[in-house]
Structure 1
Amino acid sequence: MTAAIRSPAGCLFGVSLGPGDPELITRRAWSALTSGARWAYPVKGRGAISFALDIVARAGLPIPSDAEPLHFPMTSDPEALSLAWERTGRRCAELLVDGRDLLFLVEGDASTYSTFGHLVRAVRAQVPDVAVETIPGVPSYTAAAARLGAPLVEEGGTLAVIPAAYGVEVIDRMIDAFDTLVLLKVNPLLDQILTLLEHRGLLGEARFVERVGTPEERVVELVETLRGERVPYLSLLLVRNPGRVRGPQHRGCAKVAERTTDLRGS
């Protein structure tokens, strides 16, 4: 059990950078990046390339000489993960202790399937009263929909965003429950998902996007051509179910407006 570090004056920021296009960095994130705060960024291992740092570099911002790589091992071993998070939390607490703000660079949005939430808990285990601010950003699936030139959902529609790792049985049930499904990180189950969509008659309603907003971006509209292909980790499927039967909707606001009008007229 390690001793807690004294409370820092610095604030821990989760700086969302968007999915890859530097022009999708928000003005709020840009202000933080140019504020003189210390940077920290995630890497899979020592010497590995950071996708988040690459977004900032392509934006033309100089990388501070004291920018700190934080190592996040790609493992499911709970003991190894616990040790890694404790080490990362302690290091961030040490960086904050001099009162200088610390920016953790996040691809996509820091509140959506991000390591930032884990990092906050790890730092607060060391410094319970640390100040935290999350700067929101553009998630990959909204950027993908914009790239395709089609709305994710329209009035009255429903949307679900899930990792494809939940499996085809869950995906099959959710097709009937939502008008649009966003399936993230589809690589391990891509062929199984394509078979399901073919069985459901929805291959023509699916679109595939990988590395959206980056120089390596790829959009595939004929998704059946992807069978047998190993696609990148940063890839997703947008699936529509135009034939979904919707239940009745409770339009409470309209009822309130009607009741108000009746009262005024009485």
Structure 2
Amino acid sequence: MTTSYGKLIGASLGPGDPELITRRAWTILQSGARWLYPVKKAEETSYALSIVARGGLAIPDDAEQLIFPMTRDPEILTKAWARAAAHTVELLAAGRDLVFLVEGDASTFSTFGHLARVVRELVPQVEVETIPGVSSFAAAAASTGVTLAEEDETLAVIPAAYGVGVIDHLLDEFDTVVLLKVKPLVDEIIELLDRRDLLATSCFVEKVGAPDERVVRDVTSLKGEKANYLSLMLVQNPKRTRGELRRGCRSRKEALEAASA
């Protein structure tokens, strides 16, 4: 007997404001698909679930959590991902669609992409749909009035965990740099921005779109504070020739010829 699997759907909810949930995601949430939502540990409150709840939708009785622990231990992570994917396949085998709730955008630094990939490795015939949404940095830029890029200006988006050495290099290469998940490195980043004289053109945003959203323009005031996990920085380098990476001293053709020489 051939199993008829349900569809796995990643529903992007935006970073915190339920009014940023797209019409497509809103429709899917009310389609009768079973809800799955991520947590870091059992019985913990889900931020993604809270976004939907603030939007006024009742949480279904059969909504179920998937645990994705906050650790860099590869053994723990591998086991957790395997359990989550196996359970997801088990639920899909009932033939009912599953909608996985994703804060922000499901294609940008999201657990959904990895979950979907592992599920497809286990059962290649499972259909996957990704519903796009508003990313945290796009919402933060709108909230603070920062323009991320104009015309041929350049933009880099990276997790701050790459370290201040990489961040320092990117500030020379890009007009605007977005630093995600800055919590562990706030003090080090502030020191770097101070050395680069970029404090005045940097902005810290925490839990954008949520009721307790926090915007800090005087980023030096954050020194010694513990930032929330859902925090980022927008950094612009006005001293750089805007769009220099694209216009540059060499054309695209010349750059390719130099690389192949």
Question: Do they superpose with TM above 0.5?
Answer: yes
* Matched residue, 1:156: 152
- Is 1:119 matched with 2:115? yes
* Matched residue, 1:166: 162
**Aligned-pair CA distance for 1:122:** 2.1
CA radius of gyration, larger in? 1
SS at 1:228's partner residue?
coil
1:135-160 CA distances to partner (integer Å, 9 max, x unpaired)? 00000000000001221111111000
**Aligned-pair CA distance for 1:187:** 1.4
CA contact (8 A) 1:88 1:122 kept: no
* Residue 197 of structure 1, aligned match among 173, 193, 196: 193
Letter in 2 for 1:125: E
**Aligned-pair CA distance for 1:125:** 2.7
Work out the CA distance in 2 between the residues paired with 1:121 and 1:113: 14
**Aligned-pair CA distance for 1:88:** 0.9
* Residue 224 of structure 1, aligned match among 220, 225, 242: 220
- Is 1:145 matched with 2:144? no
CA contact (8 A) 1:7 1:127 kept: no
Work out the CA distance in 1 between the residues paired with 2:185 and 2:42: 29
Letter in 2 for 1:17: L
**Aligned-pair CA distance for 1:86:** 1.3
Work out the CA distance in 2 between the residues paired with 1:33 and 1:207: 34
What TM-score results when the alignment is normalised by the length of structure 2? 0.91
1:22-71 CA distances to partner (integer Å, 9 max, x unpaired)? 00000010010011111100011111000000000000001111111111
* Matched residue, 2:254: none
**Aligned-pair CA distance for 1:126:** 2.1
- Is 1:68 matched with 2:68? no
Work out the CA distance in 1 between the residues paired with 2:2 and 2:121: 12
* Matched residue, 2:92: 96
1:195-225 CA distances to partner (integer Å, 9 max, x unpaired)? 1111111000100100000011000111111
What TM-score results when the alignment is normalised by the length of structure 1? 0.89
Letter in 2 for 1:197: L
Instruction: Give % identity.
Output: 62
Work out the CA distance in 1 between the residues paired with 2:34 and 2:117: 20
Work out the CA distance in 2 between the residues paired with 1:224 and 1:218: 15
> How many pairs were matched up?
247
Letter in 2 for 1:72: F
Q: 1:247 to 1:61 in 2, by over 3 A?
A: closer
